Every structure is written in C-alpha cells, then in structure tokens.
Amino acid sequence: MLGTKLGGSEMKKYLTLENGDVFVGEACGDLGAEIEGELVFTTNMTGYQENLTDPSYKNQIITFTYPLIGNYGVSLGTSQSDRVQASAVVVREMTDEVYHYQSVISLDAFLKQQKVPAISGIDTRQLTKIIRQYGTMKASLTNQPVNAKEAEMAHQSAIVKSATRSVTDGKENEHVVVIDFGVKSNIVRSLQRPEIDVTVVTPESTFEDISELHPTGILLSNGPGDPTDYSDFLPVIQKLQEQYPIFGICLGHQLLALANGATTYKMTFGHRGSNHPVKDLITGDIYMTSQNHGYAVDIDSVKSTPLEVTALEVNDKTCEGLRYPGRPIFSVQYHPEAAPGPHDAKPLFDKFINLMHVNGGVH
C-alpha cells in the first residue's frame, strides 16, 4: 500500500506494519535512523510538541491525523520531559515554514537534533483506518523495504526510571510525593502552589522510602506500557492508601484499580487525542478531555473491589474515573493537566489539594 509518490532525489522511508501493509514516504527528522515500535495515532490538531515529549508515548510511533504538522515550530517551556519520547513520527505533511513568535526551531530540525526519524507524504487517514480496523500494532520505520516476516517484532514494555527531584520554596509546606512512572512536566507544574512542595520519586521507591519524606498526599503519575508490568509496585500502593490521600492519573488510575483487585485490558486502538467527552457520574457534568492510553480498567471487575466507578467515556463507555468511598482517594483515566488539550478537568488538582487540607496529612 503506497502513500504519495516521491520525485527527484528525496530520500524514501518505509513504514512496514505488522500485518504486512507498507507505506512509502519521504524521510524527515533523523534521516539515517531506523526504528521499531508500537504504531498508534492521535487526533490532536495542535500540541504536537507536548505529545512527542510525553513519556506515555515512549517506544511508540505516533501518527498525527491532522494533515499539517509543524506550522508553529517548537518553543521553550512547552515540552513535557527533557527529550522526545516517541520512537518516530508519521505525518501527511511536515512544514519548515514556522509562524509563531515563540518558536526557536522547526519541528524537523528538532527531530534531527533529538535523533528521531519521521516519515511524511503518506495517507495518514488510510493508515488510521487500518489501525482502527486491526488495532494497535507493531511497525518498523526503515530506509529500505522489509518483508512481512521481518515486520514481526517483539514488543518490549518500557518502565520509566527517573531521578528523584524536589521542587520547593524552603518553607514548612504541605508535601505531595509524585510516583514517576513517566510523569509529564505540566502535572508537576499543576501541583505547585506557594504552600505546597513537590517531590518526584521513582517506582523503585519502597513504602518506607516514601514515608520518610513525610508526604501530605501521593500522586500516581501517567506512564507508558501495560499496567501489569508494574505489579511489583502494587503492594506499595496498598500500604500508601491506608495512610495518605491519593490521586491517580492515567497509568496511575489503572494501578490504583489493580492494587484494589480490579483488572485491566488492552484496548483495540486506545484513546489518543484532546476531544474525548467524559461524563462525571457523580455530578452529571460532561468534560472534554485529553487522553493518551492503550489500556483500560475493566468496569465489571470493579464491582468486586472497594472502589466505585465515577466517570465514563461517552462514546465507548470505558472507565474514566474511580474513587474509594470513605477515603481521600480518587483517580481519572484522562489528563487534567491540559498539555495539550482542554482545561475542563484542571480543577481536579484543586480537588486533590483540598482533600489533603481536609485530612491534615499523615506524618
């Protein structure tokens, strides 16, 4: 299956899908790099810089359904981590003509700098239809054609490890400890207040390690991969929820569910975009949300746990929220930090902080 034909001396790139389909396009980004990864798509019309630097996209090949990418370049202070996390980028058209006063570099130059390959000039609508029909699949991006057998690549889970870091103003403040499974920068920024310190720790931390930090609340962050890959951390969550307020986001939502006896499953093609409507079952409100996940909590499995489902995705009725009745513990599948995306769910950070105030912290 071929994309747009190329002319002249343009360098070709080959996107080979696990099911044997091949798209031929123009090489951009890092021209020499060849990669393998999980092929996904996002419906975001803007926010490509946030998407590419989101740790939840680690080891994934991102297809942008919006036809023109790169028109406002790359700016300082927008990235959600210190590098591009995606393995590769697939676009219909990538432009070097940048129109934004904050831009410091073009997207193509940024990808070259980060050694991330990309392919342009293919029919991304057709590619997305294939993913929707067959589900998320493995793929390779190469400089030469490969056969279908070579396209059958082993998937490796990617558990993110990060160094502990603290954000503080030096005062006696309340203290949020973020468990970093692949946290986005804007989640940390959304927690920061003059009266709140934030410390980020790795999932290798023990319950004792976290308790010694004297947290007022715990945030379970987003991250890549299958939530069952993090089963070693579930006993830590079980202990933490006995003593501290907890807020889970995306992967953190799934891990909270697993820690309480629910199960998760791999979705056909996941939710990736900033236009997912979610209904709050407590208030009846509808929020427009930003999402990026390929796994979901099995709603039926929640019935046998102490948790309660609090929100549903309007289109497919997947689980979008949980709470632990009687305890200051809740989670959401979507991203309230709005990077990129709508700001409807931003008040959830205030809700979490208010829960910490009410409970007074446990030291």
Active site residues: 250, 335, 337
Q: Which residues are annotated as a binding site for L-glutamine?
A: 56, 223, 225, 251, 254, 292, 294-295
What's the number of CA atoms in the CB half-sphere (13 Å) around residue 278?
29
Strand pairing report for 246-249 and 329-332: parallel
Local structure of 232: helix, strand or coil: helix
Alpha carbon 3 to chain centroid distance? 28
Q: What single-letter DSSP state applies at residue 107?
A: H
Q: Which of 288, 298, 218 is nearest to 254 (CA)?
A: 298
φ, ψ of residue 289 in degrees (nearest 5): -130, 160
Q: Are 102 and 76 in contact (CB under 8 A)?
A: yes
List, as residue ranges, the binding site.
Answer: 56, 223, 225, 251, 254, 292, 294-295
H helical segments located in the chain = 48-52, 107-113, 124-134, 185-191, 207-211, 234-240, 251-259, 299-302, 347-359
DSSP category for residue 234 = H
